[in-house]
Amino acid sequence: MTTNHSSSEDRPPAPLWATVIATFFGAGRLRPGPGSWGSAAAILLWWILTRWIAPNWQPWLALLLAILAVLAGIPAATRVARAAALKDPQFVVIDEVAGQLITLIATPVSWKSLLLGFILFRGFDIVKPPPLRRLERLPEGVGIVVDDVGAGLYALAVMQIMLHFGLLPR
């Protein structure tokens, strides 16, 4: 008797490149809270990179890295989600990386700004205020990644407002 179901065992594994990108070099395999680990890995990477990049170039680099995470993340998330037979696998964290990097665009690098950016992004990502929840309904990798881009934009807006009013040191 043959069953006609499609489980992850029936599907070929995702290509290695897609798995490495989607899990952000394995950060998505960490527990508990793989999304938080993905965000923390993005912050650590950003902090390390900013040690060698002049402050006036940092906003552009953050923007470039966020765009790269989105452009590489959508096809990677699509392939990994298909291989796992899951709509939005928790271990896919490239979306958190993209959203976290967006949060940090044009934000001075200090422990306070990095911590606040982490808290704000994770909060918006978890709560998903309107219309972010609707973005999850988009197909495959687009739906996986774009809602986190929105959460990153919300967090970026709050960070910039706090900077403008002097609530976050420059």
The one-digit pLDDT tens for each residue of the chain (170 residues) are: 334 445 556 778 999 999 999 999 999 999 999 999 999 999 999 999 999 999 999 999 999 999 999 999 999 999 999 999 999 999 999 999 999 999 999 999 999 999 999 999 999 999 999 999 999 899 999 999 999 999 999 999 999 999 999 998 87
Written as six digits, the tokens of 113 are 């700004």
- The whole-number pLDDT of residue 2 equals 37
- The whole-number pLDDT of residue 5 equals 46
| Entry field: residues in the chain | 170
Rounded to two decimals, the pTM is 0.92
The verdict on whether omega for the bond into residue 131 sits within 30 degrees of 0, i.e. cis, is yes
Domain ranges of the chain: 14-164
Contact between 100 and 28 (Cβ < 8 Å): no
- The whole-number pLDDT of residue 8 equals 52
3-state secondary structure of 141: helix
Contact between 94 and 69 (Cβ < 8 Å): yes
- The whole-number pLDDT of residue 9 equals 62
Give the residue from 81, 74, 44, 67 showing the smallest Cα distance to 152. Answer: 67
- Outline where 51-93 has alpha helix (H): 58-84
